[in-house]
Amino acid sequence: MLQGAIGSFLLAVLTFAQSFPEEKVTCACDLESCNNHTCQGKVCFVSKNLDSGKVFKKKGCLGKDTQLQCSSSEKEYATRCCNSNMCNENMNIFLEAEVQPETPTSLKNLLLMILVPLLAFLVIGMLLALSCWKLAQHRRRRLLFQHNNLGDTDLMLKASMAGDGVLEDLLNEDCTTGSGSGLPFLVQRTVARQIALVECVGKGRYGEVWRGVWHGENVAVKIFSSRDEQSWFRETEIYNTVLLRHENILGFIASDMTSRNSSTQLWLITHYHENGSLYDYLQRTVLDTEICLRLAYSIICGLVHLHVEIFGTQGKPAIAHRDLKSRNILVKANRQCCIADLGLAVMHSQGSDYLDIGNNPRVGTKRYMAPEVLDEQIRTDCFESYKQTDIWAYGLVLWEIIRRTVVNGLVEDYRPPFFDMVPSDPSFEDMKKVVCTDQQTPRIPNYLYSDLILTALAKIMKECWYHNPSTRLTALRIKKTLKKLSSSLENPKQDC
């Protein structure tokens, strides 16, 4: 077979050579007979032949008396010739056997039918995904822009266009700090710097509360004195890490720290309630049973929300207030209350069994301290203990409310708890003697027992004042009882 192939090959080369003129050309040559890989001849050639699966390639010259064909191309051998100097150096040549078999047309069509729609589908899918992503990016950027440039354009625009309720909109957008109740820190700062303080509405033990105006809306600004900076830190921390939006918890807007005349000013900005604190409200207002119940119920709802741990992404740790009193409860326009002042609060998470007491040197208000706090028997490592002290204080607040409720035309003046047993600014020892040693509790006016609702409230109060903290009612228990009482007030016939 090899001899046959070589024979045909030589014949082809010789035949081709005869058809060229006499002049000589220099050709690339890899035959053994060539010097310096070149030779001179009438034409240059390249040849290839296939033997036992191997391809042999040759280059060289053809003389004038060759009789071979130059342009043969068969399955197993092929030649090509040219007639300029070194023209065969880079000349390519293919054997038929080297040419890949063509894909049958039907298969090609089939592949096309599958591949084209698949590709189109992929491209459309990618475009859709891209546009969704772009949309999400756009929304993110818009929100970020809002938050980072609140001082400038967007928020201003929003404020001037929307008028009232801009803060509400801002706080309700799902763009708060993530887990906390407030706006992103930068926004908090910007809002704080845009507030105009209008009037001082209260002076507490540790600072002042002002009515401020932000873009036409009233806000409350509590300015902490430097000796109570820990309360500011604690309250800011809690509001910014815990989702505390609840109608019976004072709504947080922003916290800000500024340096003025080399002193630090700490601001806490919250919703403003023109009725002021429950303490203020009870001084000037008497209540009917319905409002009494509404106030009591809304406070316990706020307390339940604080006390309960909520699991999940929208969750919160359990929180005990530790300074519940009528001055730390505000009365909203709808006569529902909200609990304020979380500067002393402790947090607890059951899952991680983590108790966060904070490091505030401040203690609760002596008048409202539970017996176990006064005799220093409270189990400070146990979260339940703190909740139980809140219940003691809730009982006292309930007592303050009840005294201002008119029953058969009878009502008492406002007085703080234990007003008839301790001086106006009682010391720790004064309170301890009355509450622990003498085991006194506030006196409940007799005339209240002529009203079923108030009798039920008096019973709750007493169950908040058990000396053994673990036997006191829980906030949830009180809430359920008050709910029943409220519905009996709304539908008196059903209750019979």
- Using rule CB under 6 A, residue 176 touches ligand ADP: no
What is 386-416 written as a DSSP string? Answer: HHHHHHHHHHHHHHHHHHTB-BTTB-PPP--
Using CB under 6 A as the binding criterion, the count of chain residues that bind ligand ADP stands at 23
List the x/- string, 313-342, binding to ligand ADP by CB under 6 A.
--------------xx-x---------xx-
Is 323 assigned a catalytic role?
yes
Name the binder of 151 from Mg ion, ligand ADP, none, CB < 5-8 A by kind: none
Site residues (vs Mg ion, CB under 5 A): 204, 328, 341
Which among 283, 308, 278, 291 has a CA at the least distance from the CA of 368?
A: 278
Give the nearest distance from C-beta 230 to ligand ADP in angstroms: 14
Q: Which residues contact 238 (CB under 8 A, 6 or more apart)?
A: 244, 319, 342, 345, 347
Q: Which is nearer to ligand ADP, 68 or 369 (CB)?
A: 369
Q: Is 201 in the site for ligand ADP (CB under 6 A)?
A: yes
Binding partner at 201 among Mg ion, ligand ADP, none, C-beta below 5 to 8 Å by kind: ligand ADP
Contact 34, 45 (CB under 8 A): no
The piece of 94-102, 118-126, 140-148, 199-207 that touches ligand ADP (CB under 6 A) is 199-207
Looking at the Cβ atoms of 8 and 328, the one nearer to Mg ion is 328
Residue showing the smallest CB distance to Mg ion in the complex: 341
What's the distance, Cα to Cα, between the start and end of the chain in Å?
118
Nearer of residues 250 and 293 to Mg ion, judged by Cβ: 250
C-alpha separations of 312 from 132, 249, 316, 334, 476 in Å: 27, 20, 8, 31, 20
Q: Which does 233 bind (CB under 5 to 8 A by kind): ligand ADP, Mg ion, none?
A: none
Q: Which is nearer to Mg ion, 46 or 268 (CB)?
A: 268
Give the separation between CA 177 and CA 243, rounded to whole angstroms: 10
Distances 297 to 248, 311, 459 between C-alpha atoms, Å: 10, 24, 15
For ligand ADP, the closer CB: 279 or 414: 279
Nearest approach, Cβ of 197 to ligand ADP (angstroms)? 13
Interface with ligand ADP, residue 442, by CB under 6 A: no
Residue 485 is a binding residue for ligand ADP (CB under 6 A):
no
Radius of gyration of the chain from Cα atoms? 46
Question: Which of Mg ion, ligand ADP, none binds 59 (CB below 5-8 Å, type-dependent)?
Answer: none
The binding track of 356-385 with respect to ligand ADP, each residue x by CB under 6 A or -, is ------------------------------
Residue 49 touching ligand ADP (CB under 6 A): no
For residues 45 and 224, which CB has a smaller minimum distance to Mg ion in the complex? 224
Q: Which two tokens stand for residue 480?
A: 């359920």
Q: How far is the CB of 452 from ligand ADP (least distance, A)?
A: 32
CA distance 127 to 131: 6
188 binds, among ligand ADP, Mg ion, none (CB under 5 to 8 A by kind): none
Residue closer to ligand ADP (CB basis): 66 or 248: 248
Which C-beta is closer to Mg ion: that of 209 or that of 478? Answer: 209
Question: DSSP code of 267?
Answer: E
Output the CA–CA distances (angstroms, integers) from residue 122 to 109, 118, 127, in the order listed: 20, 6, 9
Does position 168 interact with ligand ADP (CB under 6 A)? The reply is no
Among 41, 182, 184, 207, binds ligand ADP (CB under 6 A): 207
β-sheet bridge partners, residue 190: none
212 lies in the binding site for ligand ADP (CB under 6 A): no
Considering only residues 248 through 307, tell me which ones interact with ligand ADP, judged by CB under 6 A.
250, 270-273, 276-277, 279-280
**DSSP-derived secondary structure for 286-348:** -B-HHHHHHHHHHHHHHHHHHHS-B-STT-B-EEE-S--SGGGEEE-TTS-EEE---TT-EEE
Q: Which of 308, 470, 474 is nearest to 382 (CA)?
A: 470
* Nearest approach, Cβ of residue 399 and Mg ion (Å): 19
- The catalytic position among 228, 256, 323, 390 is 323
- Rounded CA-CA distance 354/369 in Å is 24
Check the CA dihedral 411-417-419-424 and report its sign: negative
Q: How far is the CB of 172 from ligand ADP (least distance, A)?
A: 19
Alpha-carbon distance of 229 to 247, in angstroms, equals 27
Q: Least CB distance from residue 333 to ligand ADP, whole Å?
A: 11
| Cα gap 237→113, rounded to integer Å | 63
What is the C-alpha to C-alpha distance for residues 331 and 135, in angstroms, rounded to an integer? 43
CA distances from residue 187 to 21, 229, 244 in whole angstroms, order as listed: 93, 22, 18
Contact footprint for ligand ADP (CB under 6 A): 201-202, 204-207, 209, 220, 222, 250, 270-273, 276-277, 279-280, 327-328, 330, 340-341
Active site residues: 323
